[in-house]
Chain A
Amino acid sequence: MKMATECRQAILELTVANHPGVMSHICGLFSRRAFNVDGILCLPIGNGYASRIWLRVQEGERLAQVESQLSKLHDVYAVRRHPPDHAAFRNLELIFQD
Chain B
Amino acid sequence: MIKRTGAALTIELLERQGVTQIAGIPGGANLPLYDALSRSRIRHILARHEQGAGFIAQGMARATGRPAVCFATSGPGATNLLTAIADAKLDSIPLICITGQVPLPLIGSDAFQEVDAYGMSLPVTKHNFLVRSVTELFKVVPDAFRIASSGRPGPVLIDIPKDIQQAEIEFARWPRAGSTDTPRAAPAPAINAALRAIEAAARPVLYLGGGVVHAGGAALVRALAERADIPAVMTLMALGALPHDHPLSLGMLGMHGTVAANHALQDSDLVIAIGARFDDRATGKVAEFCPLAKIIHLDIDAAELHKVRHADFPLPGDVVATLTALLEHLTPQSHELWRDEIAALQRAYPAAWSETAITRPQSLIRTIALYLGPDAIVTTDVGQHQMWTAQVYPFSRPRQWLTSGGLGTMGFGLPAAIGAALVEPQRPVVCFSGDGSILMNIQELATAAELNLNIKLVVLNNGGLGLVRQQQDLFYGGQRFASDHGRSPDFCAIARGFGWSTLDLPEVGYDAESLEAALRCPGPRLIHVPVDSNARVYPIVPPGAANHEMLTGAEL
Contact = CB atoms under 8 A, between A and B. Distances in A.
Do A and B form a real pair?
Answer: yes
Given A74-B127, A74-B147, A68 B303 contact: yes
B303 A65 contact: yes
Contact of A72 (B128, B301, B306): B301
Nearest to A31: B123
B130 A21 contact: yes
**Interface residue tally of chain B, by bracket?**
10 to 19
Interface string B293-322: 000000001110111000000000000000
B119 A24 contact: yes
A21 B122 contact: yes
B32 to A, nearest CB: 23
Majority-rule SS of A interface residues = helix
Contacts of A69: 303
A21 B301 contact: no
A40 B119 CA distance: 20
Nearest to B118: A21
Contacts of A90: none
A32 interface: yes
A36 B122 CA distance: 19
Interface in A46-98: 64-65, 68-69, 71-75
Interface in B409-458: none
B122 A24 contact: yes
B122 to A, nearest CB: 5
Interface in B345-368: none
Contacts of A75: 127
Nearest to A19: B132
A68 B151 CA distance: 14
Contacts of B118: 21, 24
Interface string B506-532: 000000000000000000000000000
Interface residues of A, number: 15
A72 B128 CA distance: 13
Nearest to A69: B303
A60 B164 CA distance: 46
A20 B132 CA distance: 10
A28 interface: yes
A45 to B, nearest CB: 21
A8 interface: no
A33 B335 CA distance: 41
A71 B147 CA distance: 14
Contacts of A24: 118-119, 122
Contacts of B147: 74
Given A21-B118, A21-B130, A72-B301, A28 B306 contact: no
A61 to B, nearest CB: 9
Interface string B102-131: 000000000000000011001100111010
Shortest Cβ-Cβ A-B pairs, 10 listed: A68-B303, A74-B127, A32-B123, A69-B303, A28-B122, A28-B123, A68-B302, A72-B303, A24-B122, A65-B307
24 contacts: A21-B118, A21-B119, A21-B122, A21-B128, A24-B118, A24-B119, A24-B122, A25-B122, A28-B122, A28-B123, A32-B123, A64-B306, A65-B303, A65-B306, A65-B307, A68-B303, A68-B307, A72-B301, A72-B303, A73-B127, A74-B126, A74-B127, A74-B147, A75-B127
Interface of B: 118-119, 122-123, 126-128, 130, 147, 301-303, 305-307
Given A68-B307, A74-B126, A74-B127, 8 more contacts: A20-B130, A21-B130, A24-B118, A65-B307, A68-B305, A69-B303, A71-B303, A72-B303
